[in-house]
Structure 1
């Protein structure tokens, strides 16, 4: 693994546009589901919500910065390879799902810009020139941009999984929205692999209702504080025994902290019983 520590702000050659792009927190689904026809009925609503994102944006972004629940590092680390490979970070799926490729290019220029923004904010950051795409990236991107025409750069979570650090990370990245970079937090609003199906109906709904109230009904300052105190939510540790799938939401909210949220996807009985949701944040 090739790592570069970044300690000084970097200049950017990314131009700005007249309106800010929104920010998304999406549920990315399980494993390589877009490549499994037998799963398409289960994922129909999620797939439709992801496929609608380009229409919602109204233009093609210059690049995408993706914060996936499936990458943790000791410091926030940005992927800087120009052509990332694939990481098949799942098990027990059909053989062909270990041969799939999502061939979007990376963007070393965006990686450098991200590193500069974080360094400017006093956040330690490294670059990784070898890391490939994980399924938290390529599964939803197969639905959002199936032609893989938009460069995508992944940014890690930081081990320790401190909500405040990830909210601050989002704040540091907010300027990218004016530079035609789409920020996507890719996780799941419910992630407990030991409590799936009908047994998860009540706890997932309790947490999902709290999340909807937090995202849709309170002012921005209260929203941030409620997210920092997420463990106080109903069924919080049932919904997220480990919070790596929730933290991409913290990054998304930090990057759009004053903006309103809209729920773009919701199911009450996903995979037989789960209440799950995805959100867009923008100023409109």
Structure 2
């Protein structure tokens, strides 16, 4: 694998100091960016989110314009001989500080851009979904961003595999529905769309924001809520979404749900 690292082009591995803050503390952020038919999707939104996260964490902004970042991504694809469809990972983390411990003294960041092939899809039905019991999410100043210290999602993914589930719905410390392992959750009752508010500790997903904007402009109303799991049982349809696509839930805790709904289909059609 060939990649971009701090202004140079590398292959297969990078060399980091023992006091690297990404390794020691997970002191950084990442974005997963989809390339479809050679076009980098939602790049402006990804760059805006990671810049906002960097500001909250006291990091310098990325030294890229949108055009420069797109050129880096396209060169990474070319170096790896990926023609059309890719999953790109942009990672930034704080460079080593001048003293030991949690307190950061550096504003500078390491920047790593990698890419792998991706099989594109618009939507897919997943059969087995349950609720996560091993971890609970918590709202904080950084909970809306994708941090490289992603241990709650690692633990949830491990639990899903052990239970034989396709995905898990994560709750927060108050028992409210927050999100899924790799995507934001939505449900529809009649013509109203619901999704957890950021106060539940969920990620401020790129697709989440896109769907909220779409609904406000032209589709059916969407409400950001703080909801208990019992509210999902009242839904006509439940799905999750991220920049890769839509995941339609056929069952939650063995309770069946419809996999068709005109409002959901309108969202999918407007995003494909």
Give TM-score scaled by structure 1 length: 0.26
Which structure shows the higher strand fraction?
Answer: 2
Which structure shows the higher helix fraction?
Answer: 1
RCO comparison, higher one (Cα < 8 Å, 6+):
1
